[in-house]
Amino acid sequence: MREELLERAGPQAGGQKGGRDADAPLLDGAGAQPAGRDAEEPLRGAALIRRALATLPNEPGVYRMLDERGQLLYVGKASALKKRVAAYTNPQKLSARLQRMVALTRALEVVTTSSEVEALLLEANLIKRFRPAFNIVLRDDKSFPYIALRRDHAFPRLHKHRGAKRAGSEYFGPFASAGAVNETLNALLRAFPLRSCKDTVFDSRSRPCLLYQIKRCSAPCVGRIAAEDYRQLVEEVREFLTGRSREIQERLKAEMAAAADRLDFEAAAVYRDRLKALAHIQSRQGINTDAVADADVIALAVRGGQACIQVFFYRDGRNYGNRAYFPAHTKDSERGEILQAFIAQFYAERAPPALLLLAEPVPEQELLAEALGLRAGRKVTIQVPQRGDKRRLVELAVKNADEALARKVAELGTQAQLLEELAERLGLDAPPERIEVYDNSHVHGAHAVGVCVVAGPEGFDKRAYRTFTIKSSELSPGDDYAMMREVLRRRFARLIKEDPERETGGWPDLVLVDGGAGQLAAANAVLEELGIAEVTVLAIAKGPERDAGRERFFMAGREPFALDPRDPVLYFLQRLRDEAHRFALATHRGRRAKETSRSVLDGIPGIGARRKRALLQHFGSARAIAQAGLADLEQVPGVNKAVARAIYDHFHDSG
């Protein structure tokens, strides 16, 4: 569904260059002019939209506003495009946010849809994909973790899963965080010792692993449990995760009592430990309820131009945790508008449960429910309960939303104060809106990477982080200055190309580099080379014996200086530097691990991920594959005679 809708939007959905969908005509200042007006200034803003109305249909669809560089400003949906877009011809009746959007509009695109429901789905997908500057945008949209139970194996695997669901597995969740699913999974494995290892590990075991020793696995890999007993454990896990926990506990209690009666105290202890593990899971899941089976409970809090949406996840009557979201661009938006935009985007790539409980109604509630049902392939109901157990669940979500927003506002106030004090310490004209911190990491010049970490009034902006693979072949191994020059040159050259007028907010006010006078000189040399004079560069050098609190700072035109060891600004700068160092080290380690984990099979034509996996599962190691005969290679599923010959020749080439 999502891919079909995005395809309907055409390649111009994000303002990219290229062809244009026949249903998405571009109406811009130049194209909308009648003959003979080429020399006049192109239409823009409300005038452009007014001229475009003549060609718009009164049908359901999605409209997109673009700026002069073709970048997407705003996406909206309509049951009647002509009627809805006409509202933008009177900017004085719009909010300040939309007035600015109209003023920046240089092109209008439309896509007609078969229904308003389809238009709503397409709008949500486009906003989620392109994050337009004037739409309410869900910022934290990473996928949720699940507990997955493999069903396409003789000994199914129980493990954590994040990402697309795969055939052959059952999924239980979602859980609000990785910590919640890890804790539940650990307790489940104490109660039901199923295997959690990957197939490659399972197939290559010759003796039990540590998980068997600590009673987290029954070691089916080496036959320590019969297949029938293992299947019984699998069914008990399924029953527990689908809400039949009471039956499981009663059965275990009866078996514990029976084992004690026959004086089999060792077996009784096993049942006792399993019961304790199940009780631990239920106690850690907080507030469970009989009021709902599968439901998400959603509440909104608004304060000081900030919005927080709290979501609680209930599955089979169990609380699987909650998470707070802080959507962007909500300052002058109505509560219902914020909540509706959040729900549409939140479920753009994840299946909604059968029931959504809201603390307050949203506009077009029935239309939204119909759209979610179309995406889920089943009926989805949206309710605003007024009393009873469901209302108590909603009130709990409201309370948590208020508390989370209060913490967020306090953090933002502290952050704003820190930025003001930082500007004062550095002699800046105003508090920086965007700080970019640069660092690099390598081992004797190998696997060298550079990184850019971004921070601003709302803290670290992890979506804006950047990594740079050091490409220059002329660098001396370990030349940190040259690496810094390459990273900054590539970063700012791209900024000049993409945003020469500095309109998008992507330019930093302050650049922080890890190092001393040498790094400062390297950074300033790059900026001078590119003709950039408005960006302040600050270098932070570790103190004597790398003692935190004794850092020295370097700026152009100023003597090196230090800050008081108890100065909050110093702590703030240390946190920025440490985050850049953490990100650089993690990126370097990932790059190094990827390089060192490359298989000797990677260079063989015709060997992709599937055949590589089949070969390793069949032989157990790359060394065994290299020593295998031609006939043995042909026995591997998916490896025909030609591929087997290619593998054999790769390892036995006498030339």
Res 300: pLDDT: 94
Give residue-wise pLDDT tens across range 431-463: 999 999 999 887 655 678 889 999 988 888 888
* CATH 1.10.150.20 domain range(s) in the chain: 600-652
Instruction: Assign a CATH topology to domain 295-407.
Output: Nucleotidyltransferase; domain 5 (3.30.420)
Residues of the chain with CATH 3.30.420.340: 435-595
Nearest alpha-carbon partner for 471 in 593, 591, 603, 599: 591
Residue 75 pairs in a beta bridge with: 64
Q: Which long-range contacts (CB under 8 A, 24 or more apart) does 383-388 make?
A: 383/355, 383/356, 383/357, 383/358, 384/357, 384/358, 384/359, 384/360, 385/357, 388/291
In whole angstroms, give the CA distance from residue 42 to residue 593. 54
| pLDDT the model gives residue 341 | 92
* Per-residue model confidence (pLDDT) at position 617: 73
**The model's pTM:** 0.66
Q: What is the pLDDT of residue 35?
A: 38
295-303 vs 355-358, strand pairing mode: parallel
The reported pLDDT for the residue numbered 616 is 75
Residue 112: its pLDDT value, please?
A: 92
Residue 475 confidence (pLDDT)? 63
Fold of 435-595: Nucleotidyltransferase; domain 5 (3.30.420)
C-beta separation of 31 from 46 below 8 A: no
- pLDDT at residue 453, rounded to an integer: 94
What per-residue confidence (pLDDT) applies to 454?
94
Angle at 635 between CA 632 and CA 637, to 5 degrees: 140
Question: C-alpha distances in angstroms, 312 versus 152, 164, 323, 333?
Answer: 32, 22, 7, 24
8 Å CB contact between 345 and 331? no
The pLDDT value recorded for residue 15 is 40
Q: Which residues of the chain have pLDDT under 70?
A: 1-41, 140-142, 243-245, 280-290, 443-446, 472-478, 544-549, 593-603, 653-655
3 state DSSP class of 155: coil
Give me the sheet containing 145-150, strands edge to edge.
158-162, 145-150, 169-172
The secondary structure of residue 316, as a DSSP letter, is T
Chain region(s) in the chain for CATH 3.30.420.10: 295-407
Output the average pLDDT for the chain. Answer: 82
**649 vs 133, 643, 646, CA distance in Å?**
56, 10, 5
CA 138-144-148 angle, to 5 degrees, is 160
- Tens digits of per-residue pLDDT, 258-313? 888 888 787 788 778 777 777 766 555 445 566 777 899 999 999 877 899 999 98
Nearby residues of 477 by Cβ (< 8 Å), 6 or more positions away: 442, 444, 445, 446
- Calculate Rg over the CA atoms of the chain: 30
- What is the CATH superfamily name and number for domain 600-652? 5' to 3' exonuclease, C-terminal subdomain (1.10.150.20)
Pick the CATH number of 2-130 from 3.90.1170.40, 3.40.1440.10, 1.10.760.10, 3.40.710.10: 3.40.1440.10
